C-alpha cells in the first residue's frame, strides 16, 4: 500500500486550515454556547427560549414540546439543549411558571417528557425582561426570523440565576445569589454605599464565605443536619448541587469503608428534604455528625470562577463589577424608556392639538372648494401657521395627511370638553416624565424598590451564612483499628496480634492517626498506621500522637550514671525520622515515662549508703518547667538511682515499665525487686 506523504507546502496549508477553523470553532463555542453575556446574564439558548416564550405569550400555558419546537427556529443545535435549558430555568422559579412534573431538584429525579408538561413566562419575566423598543434584533441562523442580540433585562440575571459552562480553553462557574439582596445592593450602589453580597443556593444549606473573594475563591457548603435524638440524625437541607441520592451514596460509601457507623439510611424527601439516618448500638448522634461532615458529601468545597462575555470578548470580573455594570445599564435603559415614552406622548399631544385647532377654528371650511391635492395640502399648511406657537413641533406632511383623513361624522360629533381633558392629561404625563428624567437615579431607586416590594417576599434567602471550623478527617475518624506491638517478635502493625497480654502493647486508632514510638534508649519517631514492620525489642512507649500532650520523663544518663527528670510537650517531627530525647549512649535508659499535665509524683529508690540518712526521694514533677524534647533536664540526686515508680497522678500513664540497674552495677547483698507494670 502506498504511503500518503505531504511536502512542506501542503503541510503548511493544512496546518493553516486547521488553525483558522479551530479559532473559529473556539470563538463560536465561547460566545455562542457556553459563556453567558454580562448584559442580560443569559447564554444564547436561554435567550432564544425566553424570546420564543414572549412571542408565544397569550397568558395561557403552552406545551413544552411546542415551545421547544418554536425555539428551534432560532437555535441551530437541536431540541435536547433547549429542553434542558427550559427545565433548568423553570426549576429556579424566577422566570418561568411551570405546570406538570419538572422533576425534583432535591432528589435528582428527571422531568417528564416535553409533551406532558407546560409552561409560560412568569409575571416577573414579563415585567423586567422585554421591551422591543430597546432590543436590537439580528437575522436568525437561517435568515427567516429575527432574534435578539441581548434582552433589556432590568434585574441582574447573571448573578440571580448563576451559570456553569465549559468552553474551549476556559470555563465559568458563577454562583447564584438572592433576589432581594441583589436589588438591595443595586440600590446601595445608586446611593454610593459599600456593597457586600454573598451567594444563596436553592437547596439551602449552610455556607462559609471566609475564603470567598468577590466571585472568586472557595465556598464551603454544608448540609443542615439536625439531631432528632441521640440515635437519629435528620438531614433537612443540602449543599450546593448535591442531591439526596448522591448524598446517600456518599454516606453508604463512608459506612462501608468504616469511616462512619450507621444502622440504616432512608430518604423521605418530597417538597422538602428529609433524609433520616439511624445509628447502631454504641454510636451516638453527636459524634457521628462530625464524621458525616468529614467523610461524606454533607460538606463540600466549591470554587467560583466568574468568567463572562463583555463587549463580545470573554473576561473575568468580580461580583461587585458585574452588579455595577448591570446597575449602570438599568439606569440607561430606564432613561431610554422615559425618553421614548415622552416622545410618544408628545406626538400624541401634537396630534390632539392639531385636531383641536383644525376643528374648533373651522379650518376645514377653507378646503371645501379646493379639488387639487397639492393646493389642498398647501392651504391646510398655511392655515395652521398662525397657531404654530400652540403646537409641540413643526407641522409635517404626515400631520396634514392625518387631518385630511378626518371624517365628517367625527367632526360633527367632536366633544370640545373631552378633548381638553385628554390634552391636560397628556401634558401632565409629559411633565411627570420630564421630572423623572431630571432625577433619573432617584427614579431608578424607586423602580427597584417597587420590584423589590412586589416580588421580594416570594424569594427569601435559603442558605444560611455561617463561619464554621474545618473538621479534620483525623479527628472525626472512628478508632476501629487495633494497632499492636509484639515484644517477643519485635513486629508492629495492624496485622500484628497480641500474644502476650503482659508484655505486648495494643492501642485502638483510625487509619488517619499517627503513632508515636519511644524506645528505651531515648530514640523516638512518628509513623503512619501500617500493616506490619519490624522495629526491634526495646520499644518502651506507643500511643496515638496527641496535639498538646505533656510527657514526664525520668532517665539515666549513661555518661555520668546520674538520673535526670524533665517535662516536655508533644515534640515536633518529620514523619518516619528518628530523634533523641537525651544524648545517645549504650548505658542511657528511660526509667519512667508518664503522660499527664499535673499531679504527677514519683518515688526514686537510691543505691543504699551507710552514711546516708535516707535511701529514697519523692519528686513532684509539677515543679519542673516544661521545656523542649531535647532538653537535658534537672538532676534528681547526686547518688545513683536504682528504681523509679509513679506513686500519684491525676492522669494515668499510657504505658509504664519500671527499669532496674544492670547486674554489674548492683551493690553486693542487695536483692533486686521484680519488675512491675503500673497502670
Catalytic sites, residue numbers: 116
As a whole number of angstroms, the distance between CA 530 and CA 538 comes to 19
H/E stretch holding 127: helix 123-128
Beta strands in 19-126 (DSSP E): 62-63, 96-99, 118-121
User: Collapsing DSSP states into helix, strand and coil, what is residue 485?
Assistant: strand
Q: How far is the C-alpha of 554 from the C-alpha of 563, rounded, in Å?
A: 7
Q: Shortest CA distance to 307 belongs to which of 171, 199, 177?
A: 171
Burial of 321: CB neighbours in 10 Å, binned 0-12, 13-18, 19+: middle
Q: Which residue has the cell 378646503?
A: 367
H/E segment holding residue 405: none
Residues 6+ positions from 65 with CB-CB distance below 8 Å: 113, 114, 115
Nearest to 261 by CA among 296, 236, 226, 229: 296
Coil, strand or helix at 644: strand
In 149-239, which ranges are E strands? 163-166, 171-174, 206-208, 212-213, 216-222, 224-229, 232-237
Half-sphere exposure of 171 (CA within 13 A, CB side): 7
DSSP 355: H
Amino acid at each position: 500500500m502506498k504511503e500518503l506523504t505531504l511536502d512542506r507546502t501542503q503541510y503548511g496549508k493544512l496546518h493553516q486550515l486547521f488553525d483558522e477553523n479551530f479559532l473559529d470553532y473556539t470563538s463560536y463555542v465561547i460566545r455562542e454556547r457556553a459563556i453567558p453575556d454580562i448584559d442580560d446574564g443569559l447564554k444564547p439558548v436561554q435567550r432564544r427560549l425566553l424570546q420564543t416564550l414572549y412571542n408565544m405569550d397569550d397568558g395561557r400555558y403552552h406545551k413544552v414540546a411546542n415551545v421547544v419546537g418554536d425555539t428551534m427556529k432560532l437555535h441551530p443545535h437541536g431540541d435536547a439543549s433547549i429542553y434542558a435549558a427550559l427545565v433548568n430555568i423553570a426549576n429556579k422559579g424566577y422566570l418561568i411558571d411551570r405546570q406538570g412534573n419538572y422533576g425534583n431538584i432535591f432528589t435528582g429525579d428527571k422531568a417528564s417528557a416535553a409533551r406532558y408538561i407546560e409552561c409560560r413566562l412568569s409575571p416577573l419575566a414579563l415585567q423586567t425582561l422585554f421591551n422591543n423598543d430597546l432590543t436590537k434584533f439580528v437575522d436568525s441562523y437561517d435568515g427567516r426570523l429575527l432574534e435578539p442580540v441581548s434582552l433589556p433585562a432590568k434585574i441582574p440575571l447573571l448573578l440571580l440565576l448563576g451559570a456553569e459552562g465549559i468552553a474551549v480553553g476556559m470555563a465559568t462557574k458563577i454562583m447564584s445569589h438572592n433576589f432581594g439582596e441583589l436589588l438591595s445592593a443595586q440600590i446601595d450602589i445608586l446611593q454610593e454605599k459599600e456593597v457586600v453580597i454573598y451567594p444563596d443556593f436553592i437547596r439551602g444549606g449552610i455556607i462559609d464565605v471566609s475564603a470567598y473573594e468577590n466571585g472568586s475563591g472557595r465556598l464551603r457548603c454544608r448540609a443542615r443536619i439536625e439531631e432528632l435524638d441521640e440515635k437519629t440524625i435528620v438531614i433537612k437541607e443540602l449543599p450546593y448541587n448535591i442531591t439526596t441520592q448522591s448524598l446517600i451514596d456518599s454516606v453508604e460509601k463512608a459506612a462501608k469503608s468504616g469511616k462512619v457507623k450507621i444502622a440504616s439510611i432512608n430518604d423521605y424527601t418530597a417538597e422538602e428534604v428529609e433524609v433520616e439516618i439511624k445509628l447502631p448500638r454504641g454510636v451516638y448522634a453527636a459524634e457521628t455528625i462530625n464524621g458525616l461532615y468529614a467523610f461524606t458529601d454533607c460538606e463540600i468545597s466549591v470554587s467560583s470562577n466568574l468568567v463572562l462575555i463583555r463587549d463580545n470578548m470573554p473576561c473575568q470580573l468580580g461580583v461587585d463589577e458585574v452588579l455595577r455594570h448591570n446597575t449602570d445599564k438599568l439606569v440607561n435603559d430606564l432613561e431610554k424608556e422615559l425618553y421614548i415614552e415622552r416622545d410618544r406622548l408628545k406626538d400624541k399631544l401634537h396630534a390632539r392639538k392639531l385636531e383641536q385647532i383644525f376643528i374648533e377654528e373651522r379650518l376645514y371650511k377653507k378646503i371645501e372648494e379646493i379639488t387639487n391635492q397639492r393646493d389642498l395640502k398647501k392651504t391646510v399648511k398655511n392655515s395652521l401657521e398662525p397657531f404654530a406657537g400652540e403646537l409641540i413641533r413643526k407641522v409635517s406632511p404626515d400631520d396634514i395627511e392625518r387631518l385630511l383623513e378626518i371624517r365628517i361624522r367625527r367632526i360633527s360629533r367632536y366633544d370640545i370638553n373631552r378633548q381638553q381633558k385628554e390634552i391636560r392629561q397628556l401634558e401632565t404625563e409629559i411633565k411627570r416624565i420630564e421630572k423623572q428624567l431630571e432625577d433619573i437615579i432617584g427614579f431608578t431607586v424607586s423602580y427597584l424598590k417597587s420590584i423589590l416590594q412586589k416580588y421580594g417576599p416570594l424569594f427569601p434567602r435559603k442558605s444560611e451564612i455561617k463561619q464554621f471550623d474545618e473538621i479534620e478527617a483525623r479527628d472525626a475518624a472512628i478508632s476501629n483499628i487495633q494497632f499492636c506491638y509484639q515484644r517477643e517478635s519485635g513486629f508492629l502493625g495492624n496485622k500484628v496480634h497480641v500474644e502476650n497480654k503482659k508484655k505486648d502493647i495494643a492501642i485502638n486508632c483510625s487509619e488517619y492517626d499517627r503513632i508515636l514510638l519511644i524506645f528505651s534508649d531515648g530514640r523516638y519517631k512518628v509513623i503512619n498506621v501500617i500493616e506490619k514492620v519490624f522495629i526491634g525489642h526495646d520499644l518502651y512507649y506507643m500511643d496515638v500522637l496527641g496535639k498538646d500532650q505533656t510527657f514526664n520523663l525520668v532517665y539515666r544518663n549513661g555518661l555520668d550514671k546520674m538520673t535526670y527528670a524533665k517535662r516536655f510537650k508533644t515534640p515536633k517531627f518529620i514523619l518516619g525520622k528518628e530523634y533523641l530525647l537525651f544524648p545517645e549512649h549504650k548505658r542511657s535508659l528511660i526509667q519512667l515515662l508518664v503522660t499527664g499535665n499535673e499531679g504527677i509524683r514519683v518515688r526514686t529508690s537510691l543505691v543504699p549508703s551507710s552514711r546516708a540518712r535516707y535511701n529514697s526521694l519523692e519528686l513532684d514533677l509539677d515543679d519542673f518547667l516544661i521545656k523542649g524534647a531535647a532538653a537535658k533536664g534537672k538532676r534528681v540526686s547526686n547518688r545513683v538511682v536504682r528504681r523509679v515508680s509513679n506513686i500519684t497522678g491525676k492522669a494515668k500513664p499510657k504505658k509504664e515499665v519500671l527499669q532496674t540497674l544492670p547486674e554489674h552495677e548492683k551493690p553486693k547483698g542487695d536483692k533486686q525487686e521484680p519488675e512491675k507494670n503500673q497502670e
